[in-house]
Amino acid sequence: MEKSFTLNGNPIPSALERKVRFLSWANLATLAVLAIYFYVSMEWLFQVTKPSFMDAMSFGEKLGILLLSGLFLVVVSLVLLLILFGISYLPGLTKYWKVLLWIGGCLPAVFIASTALLLIDNFTYTVFQFGIVTSDGIERGIYGILFLLILAVCIRWMFQILSKRTQINQLDTSLKVQLLACLALLILSIPLGGSLYLSAKTADSGITLEGTTVRRPNILLLGSDGVDADHMSLYGYKRDTTPFLTNFAKSALLSENNFPNANQTSGSLVSIYTGKLPTATRLLYPPDILKGQDAFQHFVAILKNEGYYNADISVDYYADADVLNLQDSFVSINGRSAYTVKIFTLTSRYLPEDVAYFISTIAKRLSDRILHIFYIRKMINPYAEVTQTLFSMSDEDRMSELMSLLSSNKQPMFVHVHFMATHGGNEDPKNRVFSADDKHMTDANAIDFYDDGILDFDQEMSEIVNKLVKTGKLDQTMIIVYTDHGYGDTSKARIPLLIHFPNGEYAGKIVNNTQNIDIAPTILDYMGIKPPDWMTGQSLLKGEPPATRPIFSAAPNYFDHNGSGGREELDLSKSMPPFYQFGSFIMVVCQNWYQLHTSPLSWEEGEIPDYPTPCKPDVLPDDQQVKQMLLNQLKVNGFDLSSVQTVLDNKPFQATSP
């Protein structure tokens, strides 16, 4: 039996005890590695078997994300265990090394319990259409109790394994198998992860600014979902739906014929932020996200570099800047600090972007559920947000947050607010004017409720401007009133665009067609910054755009509602190369619209309803020119057009370089 020694009254472990300790900690490390890879692999499997940002990736790229994500979490976890291991050798703590070992054992137990919770949730939600996200009241507590029971079982299991290990002083078969498994995973992960890291393009904003900033006004980007210009008295509608905006427009720049660049909120908002078409960013609808330089190239980042306080008050998931991967953008996103909750911000400094995004995604999936089941923060159901108008943040909440910012001394500030009063299915407008006699919304009276929603939005604009007047900030603020798409998710209808500059500068009307990607260049131009070359919109301060300038937009593959409980989902059967999520491409020229459907390939055209300033036929492009213009734009954006050579008419045509 080996003798024990002391140093300054503290026991010194014998060689045999040191060996037992080392093997015990090695066993814990292997258990942590295996638990982490199990957690990551289950989450990875969930992501690759449903619509996700990895849809267009090769299997090798997807595998690389799995291995490198697991490696990153393993390194972080092993550092934590190494700290505990070191503490166990501190004077006065050596006799408590088993306690520290068991504390470390909670780490793999948490990963295993979390994986079990997510697997149960995935199964029940997929098969029975209920899960944590749909739970409320006592159901949330039941899930919380279930998780605690699973965690208790996992911790007890870890304690049993580690307690047994502290009595073994040799490298037995069990530990050998674990070490070999961990070694195999690391051998796979490190070389592949290293090659991915080295091959990943360095995140470069590509922002090179020209010009000297001469103005830094506060900037408010204020919109409501799905507003048709044809339903606003501002644009001549028979009902007085916008009494305030009609008067306010007298001191603003008003676009008479503005169009969106996507028929869905996500793609449309990103086109506003970036000044790029969805065909360029490849972002239309979740799970699409911004990637590479596109994630950094937007006017929000430019404003941030100019010292702006940026706040996003919109809608979770479909409009959330975090979910869309808008990098280096907002300080506050839907009431939470982007700097305190966004794991991506840290991981993207050291990892390829797709890996960092995957890690932040799975971390958010888990944290949302844990906070929900323990009644800390209610989890948002993104499908209910848009299909049942059960918004987690009401327009009153949005107004309250905006008013708080307007009362603050944060200068200069950029605030984006996306109201939802005009979203389809809103049965509870604040102003019951046009729907006053309607008890419930039906197909026959839906427009009454919709018009009241526009009236609500108009009232909100009035309250905001009055607040600016009272605080003396109106003449220091640029106000952009916009919408994301037309009523019924269309990009073939006129939508509002009104820009009120400080001191009523540039007041007037623009008659020729404008588009939402013109907003960012206009903001920068007013500030004295030359819009970057990657912005394809046009500053509206330069005067009228060409009358026949083509306006391009896109729509995702048609949604499949069958058996989905009313949820909006992409029809994956149509999400195939070469167009993937793009279900159709639309082009508007003056009063005419043209649409190329991709699945099945077909062509459609028509006229914009109630277009007030139609072009004469002799200035409009003919059919062949129209088709060529659309194909040329797709070619510029890198689409393979070989499948559409003869689909539009009997005459083959070839897309040419612009």
590-649 pLDDT per residue, tens: 999 999 998 888 889 999 999 999 999 999 999 889 999 999 999 999 998 887 765 555
Across-strand partners of 416? 221, 312
Q: How far is CA 533 from CA 292, 412, 630, in A?
A: 17, 25, 21
Q: Which residue type does 267 have? A: G
For helices 353-373 and 15-48, give the axis angle rounded to 10 degrees: 90
**Of 254, 324, 327, whose CA–CA distance to 508 is shortest?**
254
Rounded to 5, what percent of the chain is helix, strand, coil? 50, 15, 40
Query: If you average pLDDT over each of 17-26, 324-333, 475-484, which comes out highest?
Result: 475-484
444-475: per-residue pLDDT in tens? 788 999 999 999 999 999 999 999 999 999 99
Q: How far out from the chain centre does Cα 471 lie?
A: 33
User: Range with the lowest mean pLDDT among 138-142, 318-322, 553-557, 631-635?
Assistant: 318-322
Say what the pLDDT of residue 17 is. Answer: 79
Q: Count CA atoms closer than 13 A to 584's CA, side-chain side.
A: 21
Q: Which residues contact 319 (CB under 8 A, 6 or more apart)?
A: 265, 266, 269, 418
HSE-up of 280 (CA within 13 Å, CB side)?
A: 22
Tell which CATH classification among 3.40.720.10, 2.30.40.10, 3.30.460.10, 3.40.50.720 matches the domain 218-294+393-546: 3.40.720.10
Residues found in the chain: 658
- Over 80: is that where the pLDDT of 424 sits? no
Query: Which of the two residues, 414 and 292, has the higher pLDDT score?
Result: 414
Q: What percent of the chain has pLDDT over 70?
A: 85
- The one-letter amino acid code at 53 reads F
Each residue of 249-260: pLDDT tens digit? Answer: 999 999 999 999
> Angle at CA 209, nearest 5°, toward 205 and 213?
130
Q: What is the pLDDT of residues 307-350, one digit of tens each?
A: 898 999 998 778 888 889 888 888 888 866 544 344 555 566 67
Residues 6 or more apart whose Cβ sits within 8 Å of residue 43: 115, 118, 362, 365
Mean pLDDT of 44-67: 81
pLDDT of 568 reads 56
Is the bond preceding residue 617 a cis peptide, omega within 30 degrees? Answer: no
pLDDT surpassing 80 at residue 65: yes
The answer, yes or no, to whether residue 495 has pLDDT greater than 50, is: yes
Q: Which of 190-194, 417-421, 498-502 has the lowest mean pLDDT?
A: 190-194
Q: Which of 46-55, 237-246, 589-598, 646-655 has the lowest mean pLDDT?
A: 646-655
Specify the pLDDT at position 197: 58
Under DSSP, is residue 238 helix (H, G, I), strand (E, B) or coil?
coil
Q: Give the pLDDT confidence score for residue 329 in this predicted structure.
A: 86
CB 486 within 8 A of CB 228: yes
* pLDDT band per the 50, 70, 90 thresholds, residue 562: very low
How distant is the alpha carbon of residue 436 from its chain centre?
37
Domain extents in the chain: 5-199, 218-294+393-546, 557-644
Q: Decide if pLDDT at 575 tops 80.
A: no
Q: Cβ contacts of residue 653 below 8 Å, gap of 6+?
A: 624, 627, 628, 631, 645
Asked whether the predicted pLDDT for residue 541 surpasses 50, the reply is: yes
pLDDT tens-digit map of 83-115: 999 998 888 888 888 999 999 999 999 999 999
Rg of the chain, C-alpha, whole Å: 29
90-99 own/partner pairs: CB under 8 Å, 24+ apart? 91/8, 91/10, 92/10, 94/10, 94/11, 94/12, 94/13, 95/11, 97/21, 98/166
Nearest by Cα to 479 from 469, 493, 487, 494: 469
pLDDT at 654 over 60: no
Give dist(CA 202, CA 317) in Å, integer. 27
- Residue position matching structure tokens 């800390």: 376
Helix (H) / strand (E) containing 415: strand 413-419
655 DSSP 8-state letter: -
Q: Averaged over 113-138, what is the pLDDT?
A: 88
Of the listed ranges 4-13, 185-194, 266-275, 630-639, the one predicted with least confidence: 4-13
* Ramachandran assignment for 129, one of left (phi > 0), alpha (psi -120 to 50 degrees), beta (any other): left
DSSP β-ladder status, 5-7 and 336-337:
unpaired
pTM of the predicted model, to two decimals? 0.74
Measure the N-to-C terminal CA separation of the chain; round to a whole number of Å. Answer: 87
Locate 512 and state its tokens.
Answer: 């020729």
Give the confidence band of 286 by pLDDT, cuts at 50, 70, 90.
confident
Give per-residue pLDDT as tens, 385-399.
444 444 557 889 899
Residue 566 binned pLDDT confidence (cut-offs 50, 70, 90): very low
Read off the pLDDT band of 409 (50, 70, 90). confident
Say if CB 233 and CB 241 are below 8 A apart: yes
